[in-house]
Amino acid sequence: MDLFKQVEALIAEIREAQPTDAEGLEQFRRRFVGTKNVIKPFFAEIRNIEADKRKAFGQLLNEAKQLAEQKFEMLKSSVAQAQEESEAQAFDLTAPAEPIELGARHPVAIVMDRIIDIFSRIGFAVAEGPEIEDDWHNFTAMNTPEDHPARDMQDTYYVMNDPGMLLRTHTSSVQAHVMTTQKPPIRIIAPGRVYRNETISARAHCQFHQVEGLYIDEGVSFADMKQTLLYFARQMYGPDARIRLRPSFFPFTEPSAEMDVYWGLKDETDYRITKGTGWLEILGCGMVDPNVLENCGIDSKRYTGFAFGMGIERQAMLQYRVSDIRLFFENDLRFLKQFRGAL
């Protein structure tokens, strides 16, 4: 076959080539545009062509070369597009959607927010303090000096390389932070995590949450405290909630009390959780001891106040009838999922 015919056959082949995938495209590239393409050797033949046809042959070769390059560029984009389309088809828009797993808020967070909400409505602001606390804020300022027996009730974890630092045993330490940095009138609640060296059981844990309350102003009385706590109990446990205050002892309040809420005695569980009395202990409270005010630089002749502290897990256990405190800390989704949509 003469050389003209051979090159024309290649041109026809290039025109007809229609690869549809990456592999076909690569074959085309190697055959017509790669360094070892089939057009190249014909350039060496130019000198063997009769002189009067040489020019025409050269033009034909250039035409073949250019055509191959242009076609390759065109094919590249059409193959890429075809690939995109087939991927889009693999994505079935009519298939049912993956269900979106709704998270739930932690029961402790739910109850904590409710308590904050209840006290915010009567003008209490939220205050915070550190969980790794110094001895002064946790004990000494709170009228619990070094050898005071009350420290045994709140045995805790000390920081090994700094014995003056410890994990706070109660949110009462925030009282000291607030009183040393703010002037009365003071009206705060302080929610947060606390720690105690307790043997872990269904009723006790080495970590739990508390909400502290503190109100200091001129002329604040025990009656103010009782009314505030009654308001809280009714918001938390319903408009018919009943409370009672029992005398108690805390180093940082005088007089001190424990507050119970009436739970009822309808069934066996009621008997068990109220120890047969129908009453449930909810919080500790009392009038802020003048020593505490003076420790924190507040004039105890001019100002009085009350404080209270309650455990949040305790309230959550009551609200949601949870019988084991450890469930709050185990992150078991079967437990936590049950609080979806809870308020």
57 vs 208, beta carbon nearer ligand PHE: 208
Q: Is 136 within 8 Å of 142 (Cβ atoms)?
A: no
Out of 228, 253, 295, 315, the only residue in the binding site for ligand PHE (CB under 6 A) is 253
Residue ranges in 46-105 that form contacts with ligand PHE under rule CB under 6 A: none
Nearer to ligand PHE, 192 or 286 (CB): 286
Residue 119 touches ligand PHE, criterion: CB under 6 A: no
Buried b (16+ CB within 10 A) or exposed e, 22-56: eeebeebbebbbeeebbbeebeeeeeebeeeeeee
Beta strands 253-262 and 279-288 are antiparallel
Q: Cβ distance 241 to 337 under 8 Å?
A: no
CA distance 77 to 167: 66
- The C-alpha angle with vertex 138 and arms to 133 and 140, in degrees rounded to 5, equals 125
Task: Supply the minimum distance, in Å, between the C-beta of residue 308 and ligand PHE.
Answer: 5
By beta-carbon distance, which residue lies closest to ligand PHE? 309
Contact map string, positions 164 to 203, toward ligand PHE, x by CB under 6 A: ------x-x-------------------------------
C-beta closer to ligand PHE: residue 127 or 307: 307
- When the beta carbons of 64 and 307 are compared against ligand PHE, the nearer one is 307
User: Which residue, 184 or 284, is less far from ligand PHE as judged by CB?
Assistant: 284
Peptide bond into 255 cis (omega under 30): yes
Those residues whose C-beta lies under 8 Å from the C-beta of residue 312, and which sit 6 or more positions away, are 108, 111, 112, 115, 191, 208, 209, 210, 211
- Cα end-to-end distance, the chain, whole Å: 90
Q: Which of 60, 75, 167, 307 touches ligand PHE by CB under 6 A?
A: 307
Nearer to ligand PHE (CB atom), residue 212 or residue 260? 212
Kindly determine how many residues on this chain lie close enough to bind ligand PHE according to the rule CB under 6 A. 11
Q: Which residues are near ligand PHE by CB under 6 A?
A: 170, 172, 212, 250, 253, 284-286, 307-309
